Amino acid sequence: MIVCKLAEIMANHKERNIADLARRTGLNRATVKSMFDDTFQKIDRNAINAICNEYGIRPGDLLEYIPDKEGEGSANAKA
Does residue 15 fall inside a structural domain?
Answer: yes
Q: pLDDT tier at 79 (50, 70, 90 boundaries)?
A: very low
Exposed (0-12), middle (13-18) or buried (19+): which is 67, by Cβ within 10 Å? exposed
Does residue 23 fall inside a structural domain?
Answer: yes
Residues 6+ away with beta carbon under 8 Å from 61: 5, 9, 52, 55
| pLDDT value at residue 16 | 85
The number of distinct structural domains making up the chain is 1
Residues 6+ away with beta carbon under 8 Å from 58: 52
Main-chain dihedrals φ then ψ at residue 65, nearest 5 degrees: -95, 125
- Domain extent, residue 32, equals 2-65
For the cut 90, the answer to whether the pLDDT of residue 72 exceeds it is: no
Q: What's the pLDDT tens digit per position in 24-57?
A: 999 999 999 999 999 999 999 999 999 999 999 9
Does residue 45 fall inside a structural domain?
Answer: yes
Main-chain dihedrals φ then ψ at residue 59, nearest 5 degrees: -55, -35
Tell me the average pLDDT across 61-78.
75
